[in-house]
Amino acid sequence: MKITEHIEKADGTLFSLEIIPPKKGDSIKNLFNQIDPLMEFKPPFIDVTYHREEYVYKERGNGLLEKRSIKKRPGTVGICAAIQNHYNVDAVPHIICGGFSKEETENALIDLNFLGIDNVLALRGDSIKSEQHFEPEPDGNAYASELVEQISNMNNGEYIDDELQNAIPTEFCIGVAGYPEKHFEAPNMDFDLGWLKKKVELGAEYIVTQMFYDNAVYFKFVEDCRSMGIDIPIIPGLKPISIKKHLTVLPKVFKIDVPKELEREVVKCADNAAVKELGIEWGIQQCRELIEKGVPVLHFYSMGKSDAIQRIAKEFF
């Protein structure tokens, strides 16, 4: 079922989560062990992230280095199919522009369609370590908006090969990313919102936000979107802080702010066990206000950890 239908049919705020594929060589059982404790909150859908290749240099033994491309977390499509089979909930694969030609994207979407996957989150992806800026494939999509357009075309029965006769239209519900604190490459918020609007005009049906720790930032973002005519559901993304290091890692990796009050409280914590309790309490306060304001879904970034999310979700679901 489409995410938009889940939201329309819901009698209040829903619970959902994002998981990352296990590292190459790990068992899917370990992933299910992380998801299992969260199933009591009845997520109607589970997102599965996509991880690009990375380049590593291996000694060839003759003093020379060999550059090799490896994927540390493959398996997004397989995991989505496994989640749908195992839990009977919708799995939402993340589809990125980086590393894919349009043809490869089309083939991946055909696989997803055959597997009975109804939803995709369309993203650009980030640059890989060896690039200074994001570089699309020469025949790939350069921005998420182009990827949204490609998926919308398939939803209209238009595949890349325009000689195809009577191609079956797909029916993907397309989600996209939104940034309450602005995407780090955008020169200003208006610029970023302008491109977000473009993604919606080209066919996006819902938005999932980057994580945030100050609800006021999310509410302002929603208000700004609405005043620009973006009227699709805007799902807040949440991740409880659980270790001291998050104070520097989260801003660096996700380009977000940690509010002063939260930062001060984390610094006061004696150890990471105390930070985790604080993160749970902060998350509960955030969720309480978001639910009061009627957000469609609380979407948790699990990143391999489920216990803090479980404690927060228990309060509401």
Query: Which parts of this chain interact with ligand FAD (CB under 6 A)?
Result: 49-50, 52, 94, 96, 123-126, 143-145, 177, 183, 185-186, 191-192, 195, 208, 210, 237
Helix (H, G, I), strand (E, B) or coil at 299: strand
In the bound state with ligand FAD, the residue whose beta carbon lies nearer, of 275 and 298, is 298
Residue closer to ligand FAD, measured from CB, 173 or 208? 208
62, two tokens: 């003759």
Given the complex with ligand FAD, which of 144 and 241 has the nearer CB atom? 144
Helix axes 28-35, 76-87, angle to 10 degrees: 50
Enumerate the β-bridge partners of residue 177: 208
Distance of CA 75 to the CA centre of its chain: 16
Query: Is residue 213 a contact partner of residue 262, using CB atoms and an 8 Å limit?
Result: yes
Q: Is 317 exposed, middle or buried (0-12, 13-18, 19+ CB in 10 A)?
A: middle
Q: Minimum distance from CB of 218 to ligand FAD (Å)?
A: 13
Active site residues: 18
CB of 52 to ligand FAD, least distance (A): 6
Of 177 and 280, CB closest to ligand FAD: 177
Which H or E element spans position 277? helix 272-292
Q: Nearest distance from residue 49's CB to ligand FAD, in Å?
A: 3
* Shortest distance in whole angstroms from residue 177 CB to ligand FAD: 3
Name the token pair of 132. 């200074």
Amino acid identity of 127?
S
Which of left, alpha, beta for 88 (phi over 0: left; psi -120 to 50: alpha)?
Answer: left
Token pair recorded at residue 53: 């290749």
Q: How far is the CB of 10 from ligand FAD (least distance, A)?
A: 20
Q: What is the DSSP letter of 73?
A: S
The whole-angstrom distance between residue 59's C-alpha and the CA centroid of its chain comes to 35
Q: Beta strands 90-96 and 65-70: pairing type?
A: unpaired
Q: Which is nearer to ligand FAD, 124 or 276 (CB)?
A: 124
How far apart are CB 34 and ligand FAD at their closest, in Å? 17
Q: Which two tokens stand for residue 130?
A: 């060896």
Rounded to whole angstroms, the Cα distance separating 159 from 192 reads: 29
The residue (of 196 and 278) whose beta carbon lies closer to ligand FAD is 196
